Every structure is written in structure tokens, then in C-alpha cells.
Homo-oligomer: A and B are copies of this chain.
Amino acid sequence: VEYDGTAYAGFQWQPQQPSVQAALEAAIRVVTGKESRVIAAGRTDAGAHALGQVIAFTTSTRLDEATLVRALNAHLPPDIVIQSIETVDPTFHPRFDAISREYHYLLFNRPTPSPLWRNRALHVPYTLELRTMQVAAQKLVGQHDFTAFSGTAPLSSSEHRQCTVRELYDVGVEQCSNLVRIRFVGNAFMKHMIRTIVGTLLRVGSGRMSIAEFEEIFRSHDQRRAGPTVPAYGLYLVRVNYPTESQSQ
């Protein structure tokens, strides 16, 4: 599923607020005639976007996959589009079965903001040292305790030390004209983790923080020394990967 998250209070259903989940469930209800609960690979924050969200739902419809795609898209608002549907084993779970996720964070780097990238990329008016940001970002690759970058997200009571360990497979800082893309591939991400990494990398890129200091903060597990959590509207869930055998039956 692709969506422009601008108009939504996030993926997850919330009382009296528009959510991507509620829009999907409403379209499924109209097309199949029955209520279905939608489960997603990742719950994106309010304003965040998706190019490759993966959802699952159970239905007894007789429509084939291609017809179901067309019918659901006809009943979805234009800012949510289903790309494809596959029939899977009933045990498939989009979140628990995922082996890795790819997220992008977009920066628009120019003195003046962009009208066409508003709500889609964070405007950064100052000059960025992208090579330095790239070197700092590489320090995150591997299996680590990411507590320092858990940002403003409150840890729930059930979470303990072990839950802040994640594995990052790849991070990259790439530029195309005024657009800077920071790419993250990892097994899983904590809420606000990418947005706090980006906020801290921006301090490195603007020269307010050295690479050594960045690494020191990361190793210290001290949230208070990290940079700010940047807005969700620059964040995109790009891809969710599954082991080949569990993705479809």
C-alpha cells in the first residue's frame, strides 16, 4: 500500500481522527460486505508516508486479486492506493514475519523552502556536509542498543533493556539536486528512532557536532544528548522484506 500521510493521524486507528487503517477497513467493508481488521507491517506516525506498506486482512470474497485491487482502489481516497494483493497462508503476519524494513527520510536543502516538497521533505536552509553525515551514519550499522535515539517516544512499561537493541543493515546519505535522501535498512526500528537519528545527523551535517561526539552519544545510550526528533512528514516506509517462502503460498 502506498499513501500520502499528510491528511492522516497515522496508520493506526484512533477515535475521531482519520487514519490509514480506518480508510482501508472502510473500503474493504464496502467491497466485501464484511468487517475486516487490517494488520500492518509498521505503524507510521501522523504525517509520515508509505511507498511500500504491507497489510494483511482475512476475507471470504470470491473476487480475484486483480479485481480486488481495482475495487478497493475505487473506494479508497486518492491519497491511499493499493499496489497489489496476494493470497497468503492464514498464519502470515505482516509485522512478525518481516525480516527487514527500508525507510527513507527526505531533506530539502536550500535557503528557501520548496512549495512542491512541503509535507514531503524537511526544509533544511543551512549548508550540509553530506560526506561527514555519511561517515557518522556508518557508525550505526550493525547490532546495537539504540536507546540514545529513542527520542521523545515514551518507553512502555513492558519494554526493558533488551527491547532497545536493533540491527541496522545499511544506512546511506545520497543527494540529487536539492533533495537529500537518508536511507535506513534494518531488522526493526523503534518509534521515533529514525527521526531522532536524522535530527542528530543534522547537527553533524551543520558542523555543530563532531563525528566522535555523535558516536560517543550513541555509545552512551543517553537520550538527552541526541538531537531533536525531526517531523514525521519527511519519513517514508519504502519496503518490507519477508523470507521468500512465507510471503505467499
Contact = CB atoms under 8 A, between A and B. Distances in A.
Interface of A: 2-4, 49, 51, 69, 73, 78-84, 112-116, 118, 120
How many copies of this chain does one complex carry?
2
A73 B2 contact: no
Contact of A81 (B4, B82, B83, B115): B115
Contact of A2 (B81, B82, B115): B115
Contacts of A2: 114-116
Contact of A78 (B3, B49, B78, B113): B113
Nearest to A83: B112
Nearest to A51: B116
26 contacts: A2-B114, A2-B115, A2-B116, A3-B115, A4-B115, A4-B116, A4-B118, A49-B116, A51-B116, A69-B112, A73-B112, A73-B113, A78-B113, A78-B115, A78-B118, A79-B115, A79-B118, A80-B115, A81-B112, A81-B113, A81-B114, A81-B115, A82-B112, A83-B112, A84-B112, A116-B120
A84 B120 CA distance: 23
Given A2-B116, A78-B115, A80-B115, 8 more contacts: A2-B114, A2-B115, A3-B115, A4-B118, A51-B116, A69-B112, A79-B115, A79-B118
A229 to B, nearest CB: 22
Contacts of A118: 4, 78-79
